[in-house]
Structure 1
Amino acid sequence: MRKFIALLLPIIFALMVSCGSQGNSPVEHTGVKVVTSVYPLYELVHQVGGNRVEVTNLVPAGSEPHDMELTPGDINTLMSAKLIVYIGGGFQPALEEALQNIDSEVVKLDVTKGLQTIPASQSEGTEHDHSEEHASEELAFDPHVWLDPVLMKQITYEIRDTLSQIDQRNKAYYEENASNYAKQLDQLNSEFERGLSNCRTRYFITSHAAFGYLARRYNLIQVPITGLSPESEPSPKRMQEVVELARKHQAKVIYFETLVDPRVAETIANEVGAKTMVLNPIESLTPEQEKAGKDYIELMKENLQVLREGLECK
């Protein structure tokens, strides 16, 4: 299906260009039009760009971003953007294929280019089934860079610099906003460092391998039930390995995620006498979180609290 869509993309783009603005004329806007590919990038653009940007996120609330497919409306949104902010490395293949057909005047910012990323082959922690084939083989690296506040600060500055180049008259505005948000990220990093400094164990078990950057930053070891894709299914062998690791490290909590079926985590928890809790990869807001006005920093602080409970931190 993905290959079929890829073949159609040039045709769809050609049709949209030929149609141009026939019929309904686009409304004129003053803000820089920015499109993001995943919620945390939307949050950063919103924080840095403020009221000088109009930002659209391609993934609706409650949707899983890994295998996002583009609609004709999404393509039209991309074509009308001034800046597209995304994560490369095969995280969202449909988007990366579409970007090849986007006008060269549109600025495309892959925020991972300047980051020290974790190769996909190393993304699943130190104790996992190397023989098991995961969907991570399609990825160049672990895409979940936003779960490290220090990397989020780097991305904040990338977005600041790019917006400043596109819209030079508002450079000082973007610099001030970026500086203010970077301070919030510094505070978040400090809270994680303090909160995870004195724990009974450094091991945590989670549904899929989304937390490699968080683990690397705070000297933890994630034990994922599946690989980088939340849709992948664990083999019976892998399930048994995780059960044994949970017993070995006396895991009190098995973590699952907001957008993933919790039954696999619940099965392991029942087997070892642990409870389940949500550890949020913050790939997308749920409709309830969006309605409540929750944001990246608040959700990360919730993650810190459930990690402290599961790791038995003092």
Structure 2
Amino acid sequence: MNLKNRILVTAVAVFVSLIIFITPLSAKEIAQKPTIAASTFSLYDISKNIAGESAEVFMILPFGVDVHSYEPSPKEMIKISKSDLVLYSGAGLEPWIGGFKFKNRAIDISKYVELKKPNGEHEHHGDVHHKHNSVDPHYWQDLQNMIKATERITEELAQLFPQNKSLYIKNRDNYINMLKNLDADYKKKLSACKLDTIIVNHDAFSYLANRYGFHVEALSGLSPEAEPSPKNMIKLITHVKEHKVATIFFESFASDKAIKSIAKEANVKVDILQPLGNITADEAKSGLSYEDIMRKNLQKISQALECK
């Protein structure tokens, strides 16, 4: 074997050795990457933005599935239980949580935000008992609650993975600035409107309405699965006609049959308003964020309320 061939063989041997040496380390590094499970899209969006590349963040709820009726499979339960951190919405939104024993850290985010009862009263964080329908679980529609949730999740990540604390604080500040800008745009856009009420399929927007000074009339209650009563349908048709409402809303995860019936009777158009408990598979494929969808909602609400 000449010198040239010996050099080539040696080079190949070194290359193969490097591959063998490096590959197990890479696999080990991937295996050691912490996992964070979030039960709703809003918590997923916060966690993904705060953690960045330092953790694998996944949403417990599959895209396109209604948050109110989801039940995890045994396989999904195993994945959840193995996560380093589980963030769930609380306030009765996930009945499957009851009796579930988490292997690692699990946080009920509803304990760190301001909750609103269906009749408009408020319960502050720290309240002990949250049964479904005793409070409105759609608190992520309030941007101040989103700020509180962001701060709490950042604290939790910094405690669990202190080596990344500076990254989490930087990402937290950026995310909160986004939420503050979004809040300012909502205040500005909804400050002067001809109408004061939106008509929706189910009551998922009361936090938003309470924050920005408009009202919500819902076909059903806090759950989109609730059957609307004929009396409530007549009431909404009367309201739409009397106030010359141009648009009424339904959502992707609920049946649109009843709301379209009202629209036909009142001769108004129907549009989708996204409550953000989850997003559709198409929205996920498009890479839409919490901010993107909240801005879309703002545009639609401002048009429905005929804001200047």
TM-score by length of 2: 0.84
Alignment-derived partner of residue 102 in structure 1: 102
Q: For residue 122 of structure 1, report the CA deviation from its aligned partner.
A: 4.0
Alignment-derived partner of residue 34 in structure 2: 32
Alignment-derived partner of residue 49 in structure 1: 51
Q: For residue 249 of structure 1, report the CA deviation from its aligned partner.
A: 2.5
Alignment-derived partner of residue 90 in structure 2: 88
Equivalent runs, 1:148-163 vs 2, <5 Å: 148-163=142-157
Checking the alignment, whether the CA contact within 8 Å between 1:70 and 1:95 is kept in structure 2 is: no
Alignment-derived partner of residue 217 in structure 2: 223
Q: Which runs of 4+ in 1 moved over 6 A?
A: none
Alignment-derived partner of residue 172 in structure 1: 166
User: Which structure has the larger Rg over C-alpha atoms?
Assistant: 2
Checking the alignment, whether the CA contact within 8 Å between 1:88 and 1:96 is kept in structure 2 is: no
For 1:291 and 1:102, locate their aligned partners in 2 and report how far apart those are by CA, in whole Å: 30
Paired residue total: 274
Is the counterpart of residue 115 in structure 1 residue 119 in structure 2?
no
For 2:132 and 2:46, locate their aligned partners in 1 and report how far apart those are by CA, in whole Å: 27
Alignment-derived partner of residue 261 in structure 1: 255
Checking the alignment, whether the CA contact within 8 Å between 1:69 and 1:95 is kept in structure 2 is: no
CA-atom RMSD in angstroms: 2.0
Match of 2:71 among 66, 69, 74: 69
Structure 2 residue ranges without an equivalent (≥5): 1-27, 122-129
Alignment-derived partner of residue 307 in structure 2: 313
TM-score by length of 1: 0.83
Checking the alignment, whether the CA contact within 8 Å between 1:66 and 1:91 is kept in structure 2 is: yes
Checking the alignment, whether the CA contact within 8 Å between 2:91 and 2:131 is kept in structure 1 is: no
Checking the alignment, whether the CA contact within 8 Å between 2:209 and 2:215 is kept in structure 1 is: yes
Deviation per residue, 1:22-50 (Å, 9 max, x gap)? xxxx9952332111111111111000011
Aligned partner of residue 225 in structure 1, secondary structure: strand
For 2:264 and 2:73, locate their aligned partners in 1 and report how far apart those are by CA, in whole Å: 41
Checking the alignment, whether the CA contact within 8 Å between 1:31 and 1:52 is kept in structure 2 is: yes
Checking the alignment, whether the CA contact within 8 Å between 1:43 and 1:296 is kept in structure 2 is: yes
Checking the alignment, whether the CA contact within 8 Å between 2:114 and 2:139 is kept in structure 1 is: no
For 1:77 and 1:67, locate their aligned partners in 2 and report how far apart those are by CA, in whole Å: 19
Deviation per residue, 1:228-269 (Å, 9 max, x gap)? 101111011111111122223321111111222222111111
Checking the alignment, whether the CA contact within 8 Å between 1:90 and 1:96 is kept in structure 2 is: no
Equivalent runs, 1:104-253 vs 2, <5 Å: 106-122=104-120, 138-253=132-247
Deviation per residue, 1:195-225 (Å, 9 max, x gap)? 1111001111000000011001101100011
Q: For residue 139 of structure 1, report the CA deviation from its aligned partner.
A: 2.7
